Structure 1
């Protein structure tokens, strides 16, 4: 609770908080989720900064936030390093320069255009070919592509490659996510079903 109160005062940092825990019993009070939306940073960028600055390791990184666990082994020194790292992140001259330049964070929205043309088994056994990433929209995905973190698949075999899904993958890659399952980790190409 002390860490949350301290970090609520840091400019540009938002905290996932529920004032009445009784109404949200599924929320773990020993997890702290920090948002970096107002700083124009992705969670991946903030996670890299905190590790380099204070050797703080997160539990879960997302496009706009990071989650940290407070365990029985967490001591004041760990909390102080986290708070100092977040303060340094907020006040760094790099961020001021970045905001002046008008650079924006990724604006990831939920997908609402998911269409399965083959079931995953049919896609697994279908003939496949590799195509340039710019030629994949409207084709049937032949591989499972899962940005990590957070580790949730964006494309699965048999799914129609939509512009929205492709944009999410490209943004996740640009923000520093690892693309688990992708045959081309650089995402310059994708395996599609040749049907």
Structure 2
């Protein structure tokens, strides 16, 4: 029998819910007997019957030796890792743990400027100092892509003592950097490569998709199994290979950021998603890629619809996920936020990510031909309703350079004060401020605030962009490190 046909966590849960039991353990609803009727009617009895603690038969997430160990081993074998950990606190906890496992206080870590905020949390918790690489920015699309191997080489020549390199692969819009070259360069300096592969858990299962991070040579990759596969929200995996990262240190790091009361609904969903992809992954993704291609063909015929496609490799854009659909709607004189609201209100069509100019849609194994036709029909109506117009296409300048006066950790724990914008220049930022577009953090806790940075924020805001992370959305005041 193929070992991948087993589903150890779901199988043991199926047995336990039919066994007689007198529960004097948490959770307090006691296998659903004490749950509210409105919740039971909504979610069903089996949801609560399988919401169990770490009973002897169910193993222990922090010291697995039973069904969790078997399930994680099966996942490692499937994704080509030497060891896999199930994550119940999302990919965010995996990113934080990967930084904790490789970097200590004042250690250097090289990472792209458009890293997820969980990476910044990892810097704060570890005390590591970031060495940022600017991702390639496409002004035509207002999108940040990946970093280039050449930029990494230059950075490592200047900082050969870095303890880790982190890569975002793919981006939210399905764009992947030249990960093989980046892995080779990192390893030439004997530095581990950590990959935030939140949006690439499906890559391993089809030749028409980009290579997975494990296949490309990453030492650590963290995947959101729930984003593109069939696990429940918040359920992710961390894969490790090679000898550059100590697995015991990784286990210890994860114990700091994972819940000590892991949900077996989440663990079972990871086990079930692995089982599904092992047996049906290629076929399911063939259908998914075909659906995405049909969507592109239908949408390409609609006036005013501009679709992000992959023609040939370019800096920061070596790979592209065809199941990720990004549509520029600015030719209609509308923002992505406005179109997103219209789609939801009038057709019940919901995008994954609206931005100032685009909408991004995830096409996955759960979509159908009916979904694709509903999407296309909605855009046909929008095209008829809103003629193509001359719009004010945003021209976002390059992000101004900055430097750290404090580590993100020291800045996080320092006393802060609020100052007017005119008094913020040459002060140290206490906030993580990110303008959209382009979705790249402009100020991180510990960085000096420059006049150029403030001008940049005001320009983005005046053009209709969004600013996240600033305690004062009007940009009249800023949180800074208090003067002693």
TM-score by length of 2: 0.33
Offset from partner CA, 1:97-123 (integer Å, 9 cap, x none): xx5xx7635433441323333321232
Partner of 1:70: 363
Q: How many angstroms does 1:187 deviate by? A: 4.5
Aligned residues: 185
Partner of 1:16: 308
Q: Aligned to 1:84, what secondary structure does the other structure show?
A: helix
Partner of 1:5: 297
Partner of 2:418: 130
Partner of 1:194: 482
Residue 143 (str. 1) matches residue 435 (str. 2): no
Q: CA RMSD in A?
A: 3.4
Partner of 2:323: 30
Q: How does 1:42-121 map to 2 (within 5 A)?
A: 42-93=335-386, 99=389, 104-121=392-409
Inter-CA distance 129–25: structure 2 relative to 1 (3 Å threshold): closer
Q: Answer yes or no: is the 8 Å Cα contact 1:61–1:149 preserved in 2.
A: no
Q: Answer yes or no: is the 8 Å Cα contact 2:330–2:391 preserved in 1.
A: no
Inter-CA distance 139–85: structure 2 relative to 1 (3 Å threshold): farther
**Deviates most, 147-156 or 12-21:** 147-156
Give, in whole Å, the separation in 2 of the partners of 1:136 and 1:109: 21
TM-score by length of 1: 0.73
Inter-CA distance 73–149: structure 2 relative to 1 (3 Å threshold): farther
Give, in whole Å, the separation in 2 of the partners of 1:55 and 1:47: 10
Q: Aligned to 2:320, what secondary structure does the other structure show?
A: coil
Offset from partner CA, 1:50-102 (integer Å, 9 cap, x none): 22232211122333222111122212221122112222333335x67xx5xx7
Give the structure with the larger helix fraction.
2
- Give the unaligned 5+ runs of structure 1: none
